[in-house]
């Protein structure tokens, strides 16, 4: 059994989508980051960076409980545990991992900053808005170009790279991006959005 400590954000939903896609049983523990739950000592024991998501796998390596934070690491762990959504072919595997890292190092931090300056900053700071919305649009351009010649982010297979990118693109309205401006991203988005496991994963934690 896997315990998922999460909240209704793109980083949290990557993991709930992956658990749904893999058909792994899991229990949801809500960590309300708007109320400071991420700083509670019990949560910090499994996620010392005070961020969701985190998991505890009662059947970890060597059959022992294992806890893990950082959504990208969790996706790789679950992919290797189940043998799903990370290709075995070495080149295809690293194609997937490089697009996963592109999400972790680019999409997540930059879109997150765009959301902050657009929606949470105490005063309207044009410099911050422009810097991060421009960067978000540049990243959409990179993905759109990749998807012009590939069905999915890393090639012809749906992998953990798509699972990591999707919940951030699902918030395109938050970072003021119109998907009509990126037609290949729009096509990819619609395909992934139609997957039943994605619908279920995106509803976590509110419906649990």
Ligand X SMILES: N[C@@H](CCC(=O)N[C@@H](CS)C(=O)NCC(=O)O)C(=O)O
Using the rule CB under 6 A, which residue among 8, 46, 70, 171 binds ligand X?
Answer: 70
- Residue 67 as a binder of ligand X (CB under 6 A): the answer is no
Q: Which stretch binds ligand X (CB under 6 A): 49-57, 144-152, 167-175, 188-196?
A: 49-57
Report in angstroms how near the CB of residue 155 gets to ligand X at its nearest: 23
- Residue 133 as a binder of ligand X (CB under 6 A): the answer is no
Q: Which stretch binds ligand X (CB under 6 A): 60-68, 70-78, 115-123, 190-198?
A: 70-78
Helix, strand, coil tally for the chain in percent (to 5): 60, 10, 30
Among positions 92-131, residues that touch ligand X (CB under 6 A) are 108
- Residue 9 as a binder of ligand X (CB under 6 A): the answer is yes
Task: Give the count of beta carbons closer than 10 Å to the beta carbon of residue 58.
Answer: 11
Tally of CA atoms within 13 A in the half-sphere of 45 that contains its CB: 4
Burial of 5 (0-12, 13-18, 19+ CB in 10 A): buried
Q: Checking DSSP bridges between strand 26-30 and strand 2-6, what pairing results, if any? A: parallel
Report in angstroms how near the CB of residue 124 gets to ligand X at its nearest: 21
User: Residues in the site for ligand X, rule: CB under 6 A?
Assistant: 9, 11, 33, 38, 50-53, 70-72, 108
């Amino acid at each position: 059994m896997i315990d998922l400590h999460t909240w209704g954000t793109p980083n949290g939903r990557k993991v709930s989508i992956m658990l749904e896609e893999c058909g792994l049983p899991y229990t949801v523990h809500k960590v309300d980051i708007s109320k400071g739950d991420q700083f509670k000592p019990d949560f910090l024991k499994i996620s010392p960076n005070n961020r969701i998501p985190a998991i505890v796998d009662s059947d970890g390596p060597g059959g022992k409980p294992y806890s893990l934070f950082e959504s990208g690491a969790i996706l790789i762990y679950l992919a290797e545990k189940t043998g799903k959504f990370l290709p075995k072919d070495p080149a295809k595997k690293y194609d997937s991992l490089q697009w996963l890292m592109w999400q972790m190092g680019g999409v997540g931090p930059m879109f997150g900053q765009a959301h902050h300056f657009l929606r949470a900053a105490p005063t309207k700071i044009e410099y911050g808005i422009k810097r991060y919305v421009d960067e978000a649009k540049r990243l959409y351009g990179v993905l759109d170009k990749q998807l012009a010649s590939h069905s999915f982010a890393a090639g012809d297979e749906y992998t953990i790279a798509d699972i990591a990118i999707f919940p951030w693109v699902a918030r395109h309205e938050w970072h003021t991006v119109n998907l009509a401006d990126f037609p290949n991203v729009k096509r990819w988005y619609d395909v992934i959005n139609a997957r039943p496991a994605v619908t279920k994963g995106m509803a976590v934690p509110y419906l649990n």
